[in-house]
Amino acid sequence: MSNAPSKVLVPADDLRTLAAALLEKGGLSPEHARTTADVFVWAALRGVDSHGTARVPAYLELLAKGVANASPDIKIESTTPAAAVVDADRAPGPVALSAAADEAVRRAHTTGIASVGVRRTVHTGAIGYYVSKIAEQGLVGLGFVAGMPNMGYTGVKGAAVATSPLAIAVPATERDPLLLDMATATIALGKIRQAKASGTPLPEGAAATEDGTPTTDPEQAVMPLPLGGAKGSGMSLAFELLTSVLVGAPIFASFHSDDPQGRKHRQNALLIAIDPAAFGDADAFTAAVDTTLATLKGLPAADGAEGVFYPGERSAAVAAARGERGVPVAPKVWRELTESAAKLGVTPPTVA
């Protein structure tokens, strides 16, 4: 039995208030601080702890070092009704991508489909959040992100491409939306760190050493390997073209060039909103989504399976439960949050 200290249970609203207060002390405007806290708490509620409130201290550091811009001059550029580019001016990802999601929805209501690129933001957070925002408005949301190379590429020695994620949210009528949110890596970088901390061997083909040799030893592993080999690395490269290169802010080529600026942390994104009403009857569409999901759930479960689930279903159930009982925060994360609070003169909530 492990004697690990138990997690602290914090009501979601209290966690949101604390995170927003800390980010505001870190330099963000009250509105930007709330937006950023929303994204973290959304992830924490759904059990995506790597992108949850654990990110607050990291963001405070990004702001303190000037990697993230606390008072960005965000510009929206557009030459055509169905597309725009949000120039983020190094704003935190939650600020830039929330603006992009709103812009995509607004335009798609008129044009049926709209895409909004995000140029030069910093750490996007859980991209499932932004496509979910689009789905909440009754539209289909798609999102792609490109970041700094930190993953292998089939046939290349060392880190080549980023673990760039893809997310798709499809609204339903009676059910929680379908939410597919996946990285192009076999496992997250955070999982490698966790395995290192607990001394657990990694799965075969999930991670590699500095020079790209696959390893199951968490001590030797420094980077994840692409999902499905050439499929995952090909997707990552395609997302770099769809986001960074499309908005005129290439990451991959400058990262692998002699330019020292090429290594500066930045991310780019593309969000797409599709209005089902442009394709026919919007209500009939979401009803048919329900039928599709119900059909899947009615299929015979395999031996030993807990049940049949569609993407996003279980995390929505986790969010409902945590919304009622509170969000479990790891002792180390809670300590970091309360230490930041003490340093910045913020009063943390009292917790169980």
CA dihedral of residues 77, 81, 82, 88 (deg, nearest 10): 10
Residue ranges of the alpha helices (H) in the chain? 12-25, 30-45, 55-64, 93-111, 128-136, 189-198, 230-240, 252-255, 282-297, 313-325, 331-344
Q: What is the pLDDT of residue 4?
A: 61
Q: What is the pLDDT of residue 193?
A: 85
Give per-residue pLDDT as tens, 94-103.
Answer: 999 999 999 9
pTM of the complete model: 0.95
Please state which of the ranges 75-84, 164-173, 208-217, 337-346 shows the lowest mean pLDDT.
208-217
Cα separation, 64 vs 26, in Å, equals 7
Give per-residue pLDDT as tens, 211-250.
Answer: 889 999 999 999 999 999 999 999 999 999 999 999 999 9
Count of alpha carbons within 13 Å of 250, Cβ hemisphere only? Answer: 11
Query: Which residue do the tokens 């983020």 mark?
Result: 88
Q: What is the pLDDT of residue 3?
A: 58
3-state secondary structure of 79: strand
User: In degrees, to the nearest 5, what angle opens at C-alpha 190 toward C-alphas 141 and 267?
Assistant: 50
Torsion sign (Cα): 79, 83, 84, 90: negative
Cα separation, 180 vs 313, in Å, equals 10
User: In degrees, to the nearest 5, what angle opens at C-alpha 229 toward C-alphas 225 and 231?
Assistant: 120
CA dihedral of residues 10, 323, 179, 222 (deg, nearest 10): 20
Q: What is the pLDDT of residue 202?
A: 95
CB 338 within 8 A of CB 56: no
Q: What is the pLDDT of residue 312?
A: 98
* Token duo for residue 239: 């997302």
Residue 1 has pLDDT above 80, yes or no: no
- 196 pLDDT band, cuts 50/70/90, is confident
Question: 211 vs 6, 158, 214, 220, CA distance in Å?
Answer: 38, 4, 9, 11
Query: Which residue do the tokens 């945590």 mark?
Result: 322
| Backbone phi, psi, residue 8, to 5° | -90, 135
Question: Per-residue pLDDT averaged across 38-49, rounded?
Answer: 95
Question: For a pLDDT cut of 70, what percent of the chain falls above it?
Answer: 98
Residue 139 has pLDDT above 60, yes or no: yes
Residue 186 has pLDDT above 60, yes or no: yes
Residue 17 has pLDDT above 70, yes or no: yes
